[in-house]
């Protein structure tokens, strides 16, 4: 369950990676666009995005 990104985590990852690409980092996927946001989305969707999200999950409740 923790491998699923929320929309906020997804947006944060795409934004951070798009900023890196706009600053000159090489894209990790081939694309026919020069838009850093679209390239970052393509990287995330293809699974090559070099970032992770650390989640602090609450302890399970026992019944």
**CATH fold of 7-46, please?**
Eukaryotic RPB6 RNA polymerase subunit (3.90.940)
Q: pTM for the whole thing?
A: 0.80
Higher pLDDT, 12 or 59: 12
Examine the pLDDT at 60 and tell me if it is beyond 90: no
Q: What is the DSSP annotation of 17-50?
A: HHHHHHTTPPPSS--S---HHHHHHHHHHHT--S
**Which sequence spans correspond to the domains of the chain?**
7-46
pLDDT of residue 62: 60
Name the one residue in this structure whose structure tokens are 């985590």: 9
Higher pLDDT, 28 or 63: 28
Tokens of 32: 């026919």
Examine the pLDDT at 1 and tell me if it is beyond 50: no
What's the pLDDT tens digit per position in 10-58? 999 999 999 999 999 999 999 899 999 999 999 999 999 888 888 887 7
- b/e sequence 13-46, b meaning 16+ C-beta within 10 Å: bbeebbebbeeeeebeeeeeeeebebbbbbbbee
């Amino acid at each position: 369950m923790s491998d699923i990104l929320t929309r906020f985590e997804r947006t944060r990852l795409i934004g951070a990676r798009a900023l890196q690409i706009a600053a000159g980092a090489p894209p990790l996927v081939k694309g026919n666009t020069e838009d850093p946001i679209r390239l970052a989305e393509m990287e995330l969707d293809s699974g090559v995005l070099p970032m992770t999200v650390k989640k602090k999950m609450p302890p399970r409740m026992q019944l």
